[in-house]
Protein backbone atom coordinates (compact mmCIF):
# COMPACT_ATOMS: atom_id res chain seq x y z
CA UNK A 1 0.00 0.00 0.00
CA UNK A 2 2.73 2.42 1.02
CA UNK A 3 4.61 1.52 -2.11
CA UNK A 4 1.67 2.53 -4.25
CA UNK A 5 1.34 5.95 -2.60
CA UNK A 6 5.05 6.45 -3.07
CA UNK A 7 4.75 5.62 -6.73
CA UNK A 8 1.83 8.00 -7.16
CA UNK A 9 3.79 10.83 -5.58
CA UNK A 10 6.76 10.04 -7.73
CA UNK A 11 4.53 10.07 -10.76
CA UNK A 12 3.41 13.58 -9.84
CA UNK A 13 6.99 14.81 -9.73
CA UNK A 14 8.03 12.94 -12.81
CA UNK A 15 5.12 14.04 -14.95
CA UNK A 16 6.55 17.39 -16.05
CA UNK A 17 9.79 15.60 -16.85
CA UNK A 18 7.95 12.99 -18.87
CA UNK A 19 6.49 15.72 -21.02
CA UNK A 20 9.98 16.87 -21.91
CA UNK A 21 11.30 13.49 -22.96
CA UNK A 22 9.78 11.58 -25.91
CA UNK A 23 6.71 9.82 -24.52
CA UNK A 24 7.38 6.24 -23.64
CA UNK A 25 4.45 3.82 -23.51
CA UNK A 26 2.07 4.78 -20.69
CA UNK A 27 1.68 2.19 -17.92
CA UNK A 28 -1.49 0.15 -18.18
CA UNK A 29 -3.86 0.27 -15.26
CA UNK A 30 -5.98 -2.61 -13.97
CA UNK A 31 -9.21 -0.76 -13.21
CA UNK A 32 -11.47 -3.65 -12.30
CA UNK A 33 -11.51 -7.41 -11.74
CA UNK A 34 -14.44 -9.67 -12.56
CA UNK A 35 -14.78 -13.36 -11.76
CA UNK A 36 -17.11 -16.01 -13.19
CA UNK A 37 -17.27 -19.51 -11.68
CA UNK A 38 -18.33 -22.44 -13.91
CA UNK A 39 -18.35 -26.17 -13.00
CA UNK A 40 -15.19 -26.84 -15.04
CA UNK A 41 -13.33 -23.53 -14.81
CA UNK A 42 -13.11 -20.09 -13.24
CA UNK A 43 -12.65 -17.06 -15.45
CA UNK A 44 -10.88 -13.98 -14.10
CA UNK A 45 -11.17 -10.85 -16.24
CA UNK A 46 -8.90 -7.83 -15.85
CA UNK A 47 -10.39 -4.59 -17.19
CA UNK A 48 -7.46 -2.57 -18.47
CA UNK A 49 -6.80 1.01 -19.54
CA UNK A 50 -4.61 -0.23 -22.40
CA UNK A 51 -3.32 -3.56 -23.76
CA UNK A 52 -0.76 -5.49 -21.68
CA UNK A 53 1.71 -8.30 -22.10
CA UNK A 54 1.10 -10.95 -19.47
CA UNK A 55 2.85 -14.06 -18.28
CA UNK A 56 0.89 -16.68 -16.37
CA UNK A 57 2.29 -19.68 -14.49
CA UNK A 58 1.50 -21.95 -11.55
CA UNK A 59 3.52 -22.58 -8.39
CA UNK A 60 3.19 -25.42 -5.86
CA UNK A 61 3.29 -25.57 -2.04
CA UNK A 62 1.06 -23.74 -1.53
CA UNK A 63 -0.77 -23.94 -4.83
CA UNK A 64 -0.74 -20.53 -6.55
CA UNK A 65 -1.26 -18.95 -9.93
CA UNK A 66 1.02 -16.04 -10.77
CA UNK A 67 -0.02 -13.42 -13.30
CA UNK A 68 2.72 -10.96 -14.24
CA UNK A 69 1.61 -7.87 -16.16
CA UNK A 70 4.35 -5.82 -17.77
CA UNK A 71 4.43 -2.11 -17.04
CA UNK A 72 1.09 -2.06 -15.20
CA UNK A 73 -0.38 -0.84 -11.97
CA UNK A 74 -3.27 -2.10 -9.89
CA UNK A 75 -6.13 0.35 -9.30
CA UNK A 76 -8.93 -2.10 -8.49
CA UNK A 77 -10.28 -3.43 -5.23
CA UNK A 78 -9.45 -7.14 -5.03
CA UNK A 79 -11.21 -7.48 -1.67
CA UNK A 80 -14.57 -6.76 -3.25
CA UNK A 81 -14.31 -9.72 -5.60
CA UNK A 82 -16.77 -12.50 -4.72
CA UNK A 83 -14.64 -15.67 -4.80
CA UNK A 84 -17.41 -18.13 -3.90
CA UNK A 85 -17.67 -21.20 -6.12
CA UNK A 86 -14.30 -20.47 -7.76
CA UNK A 87 -10.88 -22.11 -7.38
CA UNK A 88 -9.47 -18.90 -5.95
CA UNK A 89 -9.04 -18.54 -2.20
CA UNK A 90 -7.34 -15.16 -2.13
CA UNK A 91 -5.99 -12.47 -4.45
CA UNK A 92 -2.76 -10.65 -3.64
CA UNK A 93 -0.98 -7.96 -5.64
CA UNK A 94 2.47 -6.42 -5.58
CA UNK A 95 4.89 -4.35 -7.63
CA UNK A 96 7.72 -6.14 -9.40
CA UNK A 97 10.84 -4.80 -11.12
CA UNK A 98 9.71 -1.26 -10.38
CA UNK A 99 7.03 -0.98 -13.07
CA UNK A 100 5.53 -4.43 -13.40
CA UNK A 101 2.53 -5.81 -11.58
CA UNK A 102 2.34 -9.26 -10.02
CA UNK A 103 -1.03 -10.74 -9.13
CA UNK A 104 -0.94 -13.94 -7.08
CA UNK A 105 -4.01 -16.16 -6.74
CA UNK A 106 -4.07 -18.58 -3.83
CA UNK A 107 -5.78 -21.71 -5.18
CA UNK A 108 -7.95 -24.35 -3.57
CA UNK A 109 -7.43 -26.92 -6.34
CA UNK A 110 -5.21 -27.85 -9.28
CA UNK A 111 -5.81 -25.76 -12.39
CA UNK A 112 -4.60 -25.54 -15.96
CA UNK A 113 -4.32 -21.84 -16.79
CA UNK A 114 -5.00 -20.31 -20.18
CA UNK A 115 -4.99 -16.62 -20.99
CA UNK A 116 -5.77 -14.28 -23.84
CA UNK A 117 -6.46 -10.59 -24.40
CA UNK A 118 -9.59 -9.04 -25.87
CA UNK A 119 -9.97 -5.79 -27.77
CA UNK A 120 -12.52 -3.18 -26.68
CA UNK A 121 -16.14 -3.76 -27.73
CA UNK A 122 -19.52 -2.11 -27.09
CA UNK A 123 -19.51 -3.11 -23.43
CA UNK A 124 -15.91 -3.29 -22.28
CA UNK A 125 -12.48 -1.85 -22.95
CA UNK A 126 -9.19 -3.76 -23.17
CA UNK A 127 -9.24 -7.00 -21.21
CA UNK A 128 -6.95 -9.75 -20.09
CA UNK A 129 -8.86 -12.99 -19.58
CA UNK A 130 -7.35 -15.74 -17.41
CA UNK A 131 -9.18 -19.06 -17.45
CA UNK A 132 -8.41 -21.54 -14.67
CA UNK A 133 -9.51 -24.89 -16.05
CA UNK A 134 -10.08 -27.87 -13.78
CA UNK A 135 -8.58 -31.00 -15.35
CA UNK A 136 -11.04 -33.88 -15.76
CA UNK A 137 -14.06 -31.87 -14.67
CA UNK A 138 -17.33 -31.97 -16.62
CA UNK A 139 -18.64 -28.73 -18.13
CA UNK A 140 -22.07 -29.48 -16.70
CA UNK A 141 -23.08 -29.84 -13.08
CA UNK A 142 -25.17 -32.97 -13.56
CA UNK A 143 -23.82 -35.01 -16.51
CA UNK A 144 -25.64 -38.03 -17.88
CA UNK A 145 -24.98 -41.53 -16.57
CA UNK A 146 -22.02 -43.19 -18.39
CA UNK A 147 -24.07 -46.31 -19.17
CA UNK A 148 -26.87 -44.24 -20.69
CA UNK A 149 -24.21 -42.34 -22.64
CA UNK A 150 -22.87 -45.64 -24.02
CA UNK A 151 -26.36 -46.75 -25.11
CA UNK A 152 -26.90 -43.42 -26.86
CA UNK A 153 -23.50 -43.63 -28.52
CA UNK A 154 -24.40 -47.01 -30.03
CA UNK A 155 -27.72 -45.65 -31.28
CA UNK A 156 -26.08 -42.62 -32.83
CA UNK A 157 -23.35 -44.71 -34.49
CA UNK A 158 -25.91 -47.14 -35.92
CA UNK A 159 -28.07 -44.32 -37.25
CA UNK A 160 -25.06 -42.71 -38.86
CA UNK A 161 -23.95 -45.97 -40.48
CA UNK A 162 -27.43 -46.41 -41.92
CA UNK A 163 -27.61 -42.86 -43.24
CA UNK A 164 -24.17 -43.30 -44.78
CA UNK A 165 -25.25 -46.52 -46.52
CA UNK A 166 -28.37 -44.85 -47.91
CA UNK A 167 -26.34 -41.84 -49.05
CA UNK A 168 -23.88 -44.07 -50.86
CA UNK A 169 -26.59 -46.20 -52.44
CA UNK A 170 -25.71 -49.35 -50.49
CA UNK A 171 -28.25 -51.74 -48.99
CA UNK A 172 -28.57 -50.72 -45.33
CA UNK A 173 -29.14 -54.36 -44.37
CA UNK A 174 -25.55 -55.19 -45.29
CA UNK A 175 -24.38 -52.51 -42.87
CA UNK A 176 -26.31 -53.69 -39.89
CA UNK A 177 -26.68 -57.46 -39.75
CA UNK A 178 -30.05 -58.73 -38.61
CA UNK A 179 -28.53 -61.67 -36.74
CA UNK A 180 -27.90 -59.94 -33.44
CA UNK A 181 -29.89 -61.28 -30.50
CA UNK A 182 -32.46 -59.08 -28.80
CA UNK A 183 -30.92 -56.92 -26.09
CA UNK A 184 -32.50 -56.08 -22.76
CA UNK A 185 -34.55 -52.91 -23.13
CA UNK A 186 -32.51 -50.02 -21.69
CA UNK A 187 -35.57 -47.80 -21.04
CA UNK A 188 -33.30 -44.81 -21.24
CA UNK A 189 -34.19 -41.20 -20.53
CA UNK A 190 -34.68 -38.70 -23.31
CA UNK A 191 -32.02 -36.04 -22.81
CA UNK A 192 -33.00 -32.40 -23.25
CA UNK A 193 -30.14 -29.87 -23.35
CA UNK A 194 -31.36 -26.63 -21.78
CA UNK A 195 -29.30 -23.62 -22.82
CA UNK A 196 -29.70 -20.33 -20.98
CA UNK A 197 -28.41 -17.74 -23.47
CA UNK A 198 -25.50 -15.39 -22.71
CA UNK A 199 -24.01 -15.30 -19.16
CA UNK A 200 -20.93 -13.98 -17.42
CA UNK A 201 -19.29 -11.20 -19.38
CA UNK A 202 -22.13 -11.25 -21.88
CA UNK A 203 -25.29 -9.87 -20.21
CA UNK A 204 -27.35 -10.17 -23.42
CA UNK A 205 -30.01 -7.53 -23.84
CA UNK A 206 -31.01 -5.12 -21.08
CA UNK A 207 -34.58 -3.89 -20.50
CA UNK A 208 -35.63 -0.27 -19.86
CA UNK A 209 -35.90 -1.07 -16.11
CA UNK A 210 -32.47 -2.68 -16.08
CA UNK A 211 -33.51 -6.36 -16.31
CA UNK A 212 -30.68 -8.39 -17.80
CA UNK A 213 -31.46 -11.10 -20.32
CA UNK A 214 -28.80 -13.43 -18.90
CA UNK A 215 -30.54 -13.42 -15.49
CA UNK A 216 -34.13 -14.03 -16.59
CA UNK A 217 -33.18 -16.75 -19.05
CA UNK A 218 -31.17 -18.55 -16.36
CA UNK A 219 -34.21 -18.46 -14.06
CA UNK A 220 -36.35 -19.86 -16.85
CA UNK A 221 -33.74 -22.53 -17.72
CA UNK A 222 -33.78 -23.71 -14.11
CA UNK A 223 -37.58 -23.88 -14.16
CA UNK A 224 -37.55 -25.80 -17.44
CA UNK A 225 -34.96 -28.25 -16.11
CA UNK A 226 -37.03 -28.89 -13.00
CA UNK A 227 -40.11 -29.60 -15.14
CA UNK A 228 -38.11 -31.99 -17.32
CA UNK A 229 -36.48 -33.83 -14.42
CA UNK A 230 -39.83 -34.21 -12.67
CA UNK A 231 -41.17 -36.08 -15.70
CA UNK A 232 -40.50 -39.81 -15.91
CA UNK A 233 -38.44 -40.75 -18.95
CA UNK A 234 -36.83 -37.32 -19.39
CA UNK A 235 -33.61 -35.79 -18.12
CA UNK A 236 -32.39 -32.21 -18.40
CA UNK A 237 -28.79 -31.19 -18.91
CA UNK A 238 -28.15 -27.51 -18.27
CA UNK A 239 -25.56 -26.04 -20.64
CA UNK A 240 -24.89 -23.34 -18.03
CA UNK A 241 -26.37 -23.20 -14.56
CA UNK A 242 -24.67 -20.11 -13.20
CA UNK A 243 -23.47 -16.69 -14.23
CA UNK A 244 -20.60 -17.55 -16.58
CA UNK A 245 -20.13 -17.44 -20.33
CA UNK A 246 -20.08 -20.50 -22.57
CA UNK A 247 -18.90 -20.05 -26.19
CA UNK A 248 -21.57 -20.58 -28.86
CA UNK A 249 -19.88 -23.64 -30.42
CA UNK A 250 -19.06 -24.96 -26.99
CA UNK A 251 -22.80 -24.99 -26.19
CA UNK A 252 -23.56 -27.38 -29.03
CA UNK A 253 -20.45 -29.39 -28.19
CA UNK A 254 -21.66 -29.90 -24.61
CA UNK A 255 -25.06 -31.01 -25.95
CA UNK A 256 -23.31 -33.59 -28.13
CA UNK A 257 -21.08 -34.79 -25.28
CA UNK A 258 -24.19 -35.22 -23.15
CA UNK A 259 -25.86 -37.17 -26.00
CA UNK A 260 -28.81 -34.81 -26.07
CA UNK A 261 -31.89 -35.84 -28.04
CA UNK A 262 -32.92 -32.21 -28.26
CA UNK A 263 -31.42 -28.75 -27.67
CA UNK A 264 -33.33 -25.63 -26.66
CA UNK A 265 -31.77 -22.20 -26.22
CA UNK A 266 -33.66 -19.60 -24.16
CA UNK A 267 -33.50 -15.86 -24.85
CA UNK A 268 -35.35 -12.63 -24.16
CA UNK A 269 -34.05 -10.16 -26.63
CA UNK A 270 -34.25 -6.52 -27.45
CA UNK A 271 -35.03 -4.65 -30.59
CA UNK A 272 -33.87 -1.13 -31.34
CA UNK A 273 -37.32 0.26 -30.49
CA UNK A 274 -39.62 -0.45 -27.50
CA UNK A 275 -42.59 -1.39 -29.68
CA UNK A 276 -41.94 -4.95 -30.88
CA UNK A 277 -43.33 -7.55 -28.51
CA UNK A 278 -44.40 -11.19 -28.43
CA UNK A 279 -42.65 -14.55 -28.25
CA UNK A 280 -41.10 -16.41 -31.15
CA UNK A 281 -39.48 -19.73 -31.97
CA UNK A 282 -36.55 -20.16 -34.32
CA UNK A 283 -35.07 -23.10 -36.15
CA UNK A 284 -31.88 -23.01 -38.20
CA UNK A 285 -31.79 -21.59 -41.66
CA UNK A 286 -28.65 -21.97 -43.69
CA UNK A 287 -29.76 -19.66 -46.44
CA UNK A 288 -30.98 -16.37 -45.08
CA UNK A 289 -33.48 -15.36 -42.45
CA UNK A 290 -37.25 -15.52 -42.97
CA UNK A 291 -37.83 -11.99 -41.67
CA UNK A 292 -36.01 -8.77 -40.94
CA UNK A 293 -36.38 -9.27 -37.17
CA UNK A 294 -35.02 -12.79 -37.57
CA UNK A 295 -31.97 -11.44 -39.36
CA UNK A 296 -31.48 -8.74 -36.75
CA UNK A 297 -31.82 -11.13 -33.80
CA UNK A 298 -29.52 -13.75 -35.34
CA UNK A 299 -26.87 -11.08 -35.91
CA UNK A 300 -27.13 -9.87 -32.32
CA UNK A 301 -27.05 -13.42 -30.85
CA UNK A 302 -24.06 -14.36 -32.95
CA UNK A 303 -22.17 -11.33 -31.61
CA UNK A 304 -22.15 -12.99 -28.18
CA UNK A 305 -18.74 -14.56 -28.65
CA UNK A 306 -17.22 -11.14 -29.24
CA UNK A 307 -18.51 -9.97 -25.87
CA UNK A 308 -18.29 -13.16 -23.82
CA UNK A 309 -14.99 -14.26 -25.32
CA UNK A 310 -14.56 -17.21 -27.65
CA UNK A 311 -13.46 -20.58 -26.45
CA UNK A 312 -9.80 -21.19 -27.20
CA UNK A 313 -10.00 -24.94 -27.95
CA UNK A 314 -12.59 -24.54 -30.60
CA UNK A 315 -10.93 -24.84 -33.95
CA UNK A 316 -9.55 -28.30 -33.14
CA UNK A 317 -12.66 -30.00 -31.79
CA UNK A 318 -14.82 -28.38 -34.38
CA UNK A 319 -13.46 -30.80 -36.96
CA UNK A 320 -15.24 -33.72 -35.26
CA UNK A 321 -18.53 -31.99 -35.85
CA UNK A 322 -18.08 -31.75 -39.55
CA UNK A 323 -19.96 -34.47 -41.37
CA UNK A 324 -19.38 -34.05 -45.02
CA UNK A 325 -21.35 -34.07 -48.25
CA UNK A 326 -24.53 -35.97 -48.79
CA UNK A 327 -24.49 -37.47 -45.32
CA UNK A 328 -24.50 -34.02 -43.80
CA UNK A 329 -27.33 -32.92 -46.06
CA UNK A 330 -29.41 -35.98 -45.22
CA UNK A 331 -28.83 -35.67 -41.49
CA UNK A 332 -29.39 -31.95 -41.56
CA UNK A 333 -32.66 -32.28 -43.44
CA UNK A 334 -34.00 -34.89 -41.02
CA UNK A 335 -32.84 -32.85 -38.04
CA UNK A 336 -34.33 -29.65 -39.40
CA UNK A 337 -37.66 -31.36 -40.09
CA UNK A 338 -37.78 -32.51 -36.47
CA UNK A 339 -36.82 -29.03 -35.28
CA UNK A 340 -39.63 -27.45 -37.29
CA UNK A 341 -42.21 -29.99 -36.09
CA UNK A 342 -41.24 -29.56 -32.45
CA UNK A 343 -41.06 -25.79 -32.96
CA UNK A 344 -44.65 -25.75 -34.21
CA UNK A 345 -45.85 -27.64 -31.14
CA UNK A 346 -43.93 -25.32 -28.81
CA UNK A 347 -45.21 -22.20 -30.58
CA UNK A 348 -48.84 -23.40 -30.34
CA UNK A 349 -48.55 -23.69 -26.59
CA UNK A 350 -46.61 -20.45 -26.17
CA UNK A 351 -49.42 -18.66 -27.95
CA UNK A 352 -51.67 -19.46 -24.99
CA UNK A 353 -49.25 -17.74 -22.59
CA UNK A 354 -48.15 -14.65 -24.52
CA UNK A 355 -48.76 -12.88 -27.82
CA UNK A 356 -46.77 -14.36 -30.64
CA UNK A 357 -44.38 -12.14 -32.52
CA UNK A 358 -44.78 -14.37 -35.57
CA UNK A 359 -47.35 -17.14 -35.94
CA UNK A 360 -44.89 -19.54 -37.56
CA UNK A 361 -41.55 -21.01 -36.64
CA UNK A 362 -39.01 -18.61 -38.07
CA UNK A 363 -35.66 -19.58 -39.49
CA UNK A 364 -32.32 -17.81 -39.22
CA UNK A 365 -28.62 -18.62 -39.08
CA UNK A 366 -28.05 -18.84 -35.33
CA UNK A 367 -24.66 -20.42 -34.60
CA UNK A 368 -26.06 -22.16 -31.55
CA UNK A 369 -28.55 -24.14 -33.70
CA UNK A 370 -25.91 -25.65 -35.98
CA UNK A 371 -25.66 -29.22 -34.64
CA UNK A 372 -26.09 -31.44 -37.68
CA UNK A 373 -27.77 -34.26 -35.78
CA UNK A 374 -29.54 -32.77 -32.75
CA UNK A 375 -32.90 -31.08 -33.41
CA UNK A 376 -32.53 -27.58 -31.96
CA UNK A 377 -34.68 -24.54 -31.27
CA UNK A 378 -34.05 -21.03 -30.07
CA UNK A 379 -36.94 -19.56 -28.10
CA UNK A 380 -37.34 -15.82 -27.73
CA UNK A 381 -39.51 -15.77 -24.62
CA UNK A 382 -40.38 -12.10 -25.12
CA UNK A 383 -38.89 -8.72 -25.97
CA UNK A 384 -37.06 -7.37 -22.93
CA UNK A 385 -36.98 -3.97 -24.70
CA UNK A 386 -40.77 -3.73 -24.39
CA UNK A 387 -41.58 -2.34 -20.90
CA UNK A 388 -44.66 -4.52 -20.45
CA UNK A 389 -42.90 -7.71 -21.50
CA UNK A 390 -39.88 -6.83 -19.41
CA UNK A 391 -42.19 -6.90 -16.38
CA UNK A 392 -43.69 -10.24 -17.40
CA UNK A 393 -40.26 -11.79 -18.01
CA UNK A 394 -39.34 -11.12 -14.38
CA UNK A 395 -42.58 -12.61 -13.09
CA UNK A 396 -42.15 -16.12 -11.70
CA UNK A 397 -45.59 -17.32 -12.73
CA UNK A 398 -45.11 -16.05 -16.30
CA UNK A 399 -41.72 -17.78 -16.43
CA UNK A 400 -43.29 -21.00 -15.21
CA UNK A 401 -46.18 -20.95 -17.70
CA UNK A 402 -43.78 -20.12 -20.52
CA UNK A 403 -41.56 -23.08 -19.63
CA UNK A 404 -44.56 -25.39 -19.30
CA UNK A 405 -45.45 -24.39 -22.85
CA UNK A 406 -41.92 -25.09 -24.09
CA UNK A 407 -41.69 -28.48 -22.39
CA UNK A 408 -45.27 -29.34 -23.37
CA UNK A 409 -44.34 -29.02 -27.04
CA UNK A 410 -41.14 -31.04 -26.69
CA UNK A 411 -42.86 -33.74 -24.66
CA UNK A 412 -45.76 -34.10 -27.09
CA UNK A 413 -43.28 -34.70 -29.89
CA UNK A 414 -41.29 -37.37 -28.06
CA UNK A 415 -44.43 -39.11 -26.86
CA UNK A 416 -45.45 -39.53 -30.48
CA UNK A 417 -41.94 -40.34 -31.71
CA UNK A 418 -40.02 -41.94 -28.85
CA UNK A 419 -36.43 -43.02 -29.62
CA UNK A 420 -36.43 -46.87 -29.70
CA UNK A 421 -34.29 -47.37 -26.59
CA UNK A 422 -36.21 -44.87 -24.49
CA UNK A 423 -38.50 -45.57 -21.56
CA UNK A 424 -41.24 -43.80 -23.53
CA UNK A 425 -40.88 -46.32 -26.39
CA UNK A 426 -41.03 -49.21 -23.95
CA UNK A 427 -44.14 -47.79 -22.26
CA UNK A 428 -45.85 -47.29 -25.59
CA UNK A 429 -45.12 -50.90 -26.57
CA UNK A 430 -46.54 -52.23 -23.30
CA UNK A 431 -49.84 -50.68 -24.30
CA UNK A 432 -49.81 -52.39 -27.69
CA UNK A 433 -51.44 -55.72 -28.32
CA UNK A 434 -48.47 -57.76 -29.42
CA UNK A 435 -50.93 -59.92 -31.40
CA UNK A 436 -52.41 -60.06 -34.90
CA UNK A 437 -50.09 -58.08 -37.12
CA UNK A 438 -47.80 -57.30 -34.20
CA UNK A 439 -45.01 -59.25 -32.55
CA UNK A 440 -43.50 -58.68 -29.12
CA UNK A 441 -39.76 -59.43 -29.12
CA UNK A 442 -38.68 -62.26 -26.80
CA UNK A 443 -35.24 -62.98 -25.30
CA UNK A 444 -33.02 -64.73 -27.87
CA UNK A 445 -34.89 -63.39 -30.92
CA UNK A 446 -32.99 -62.02 -33.91
CA UNK A 447 -34.43 -59.76 -36.56
CA UNK A 448 -33.72 -62.24 -39.39
CA UNK A 449 -35.49 -65.06 -37.52
CA UNK A 450 -38.53 -62.92 -36.85
CA UNK A 451 -38.61 -61.94 -40.53
CA UNK A 452 -38.31 -65.57 -41.66
CA UNK A 453 -40.97 -66.73 -39.21
CA UNK A 454 -43.45 -64.16 -40.52
CA UNK A 455 -42.42 -64.58 -44.12
CA UNK A 456 -41.37 -60.97 -44.77
CA UNK A 457 -38.06 -59.61 -46.06
CA UNK A 458 -35.88 -58.11 -43.33
CA UNK A 459 -35.73 -54.79 -45.18
CA UNK A 460 -39.49 -54.52 -45.19
CA UNK A 461 -39.72 -55.35 -41.50
CA UNK A 462 -37.13 -52.70 -40.77
CA UNK A 463 -38.90 -50.10 -42.85
CA UNK A 464 -42.32 -50.78 -41.31
CA UNK A 465 -40.86 -50.21 -37.86
CA UNK A 466 -38.38 -47.47 -38.69
CA UNK A 467 -35.56 -49.60 -37.33
CA UNK A 468 -32.33 -47.95 -38.30
CA UNK A 469 -29.91 -49.60 -35.94
CA UNK A 470 -28.75 -53.18 -35.53
CA UNK A 471 -30.23 -53.56 -32.08
CA UNK A 472 -33.68 -54.97 -31.25
CA UNK A 473 -34.91 -55.02 -27.70
CA UNK A 474 -36.81 -57.46 -25.52
CA UNK A 475 -40.35 -56.18 -24.98
CA UNK A 476 -40.26 -54.05 -28.15
CA UNK A 477 -43.32 -54.57 -30.37
CA UNK A 478 -42.80 -54.87 -34.12
CA UNK A 479 -45.50 -54.29 -36.69
CA UNK A 480 -45.46 -57.14 -39.20
CA UNK A 481 -46.17 -55.80 -42.70
CA UNK A 482 -48.41 -57.96 -44.86
CA UNK A 483 -46.28 -59.32 -47.69
For Zn ion, the binding residues (CB under 5 A) are 197, 204, 267, 269
Q: Which is nearer to Zn ion, 189 or 202 (CB)?
A: 202
In DSSP terms, 37 is beta-bridged to 42
Minimum separation from the CB atom of position 38 to Zn ion (A): 19
Q: Which is nearer to Zn ion, 215 or 269 (CB)?
A: 269
Nearest to residue 134, comparing CAs of 108, 104, 115, 112? Answer: 112
In DSSP terms, 425 is beta-bridged to none
Residue 20 CA to residue 454 CA, distance in Å, equals 99
> Interior CA angle at 84 toward 79 and 89, to 5°?
60
Q: Which is nearer to Zn ion, 64 or 394 (CB)?
A: 394
Residue 451 CA to residue 331 CA, distance in Å, equals 28
For the purposes of burial, counting CB atoms within 10 Å of the CB of 320, is it exposed (0-12), middle (13-18) or buried (19 or more)?
exposed
Pairing of strands 376-380, 262-267: parallel
Q: State the residue number with the nearest CB to Zn ion.
A: 267
DSSP 335-401: HHHHHHHHHHHHHHHHTTTS-BSSSS-EEE--GGG--SSS-EEEEE---TTSHHHHHHHH-HHHHHH
Q: Which is nearer to Zn ion, 361 or 441 (CB)?
A: 361
Q: Which is nearer to Zn ion, 104 or 306 (CB)?
A: 306
Nearest to residue 86, comparing CAs of 131, 143, 140? Answer: 131
Minimum separation from the CB atom of position 166 to Zn ion (A): 37
Q: Which is nearer to Zn ion, 129 or 297 (CB)?
A: 297
In DSSP terms, 57 is beta-bridged to 66
Minimum separation from the CB atom of position 32 to Zn ion (A): 24
Q: Which is nearer to Zn ion, 155 or 269 (CB)?
A: 269
Minimum separation from the CB atom of position 335 to Zn ion (A): 22
Minimum separation from the CB atom of position 205 to Zn ion (A): 6
Minimum separation from the CB atom of position 368 to Zn ion (A): 10
> Interior CA angle at 54 toward 52 and 60, to 5°?
155
Q: Which is nearer to Zn ion, 240 or 267 (CB)?
A: 267
Under 8 Å between Cβ of 188 and 257? no
Residue 114 CA to residue 99 CA, distance in Å, equals 24
Q: Which is nearer to Zn ion, 202 or 429 (CB)?
A: 202
User: Which residues have C-beta within 8 Å of that of residue 445, sequence separation ≥ 6?
Assistant: 181, 182, 472, 474
Q: Which is nearer to Zn ion, 201 or 269 (CB)?
A: 269
Minimum separation from the CB atom of position 267 to Zn ion (A): 3
Minimum separation from the CB atom of position 206 to Zn ion (A): 11
| Span between the terminal Cα atoms of the chain, in Å | 89
Minimum separation from the CB atom of position 378 to Zn ion (A): 8
Task: Tell me how far the alpha carbon of residue 221 is from its chain's centroid.
Answer: 12
Minimum separation from the CB atom of position 204 to Zn ion (A): 5
Task: Tell me how far the alpha carbon of residue 64 is from its chain's centroid.
Answer: 31
Coil vs helix vs strand at 107: strand
Amino acid sequence: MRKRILRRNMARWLLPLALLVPLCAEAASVDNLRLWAAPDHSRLVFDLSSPVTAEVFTLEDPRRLVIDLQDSEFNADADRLDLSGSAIREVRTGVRNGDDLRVVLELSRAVEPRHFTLEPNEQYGHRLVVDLEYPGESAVEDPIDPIEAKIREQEIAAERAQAEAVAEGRDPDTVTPAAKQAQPHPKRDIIIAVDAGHGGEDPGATGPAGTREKDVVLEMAKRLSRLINATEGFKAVMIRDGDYYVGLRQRTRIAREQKADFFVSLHADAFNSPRPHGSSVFALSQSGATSETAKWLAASENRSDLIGGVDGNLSLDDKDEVLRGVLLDLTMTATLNDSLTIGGRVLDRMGRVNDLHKSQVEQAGFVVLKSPDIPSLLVETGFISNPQEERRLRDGSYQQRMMQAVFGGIRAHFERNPPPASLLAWQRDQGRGGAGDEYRIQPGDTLSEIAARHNVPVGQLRQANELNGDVIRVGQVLRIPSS
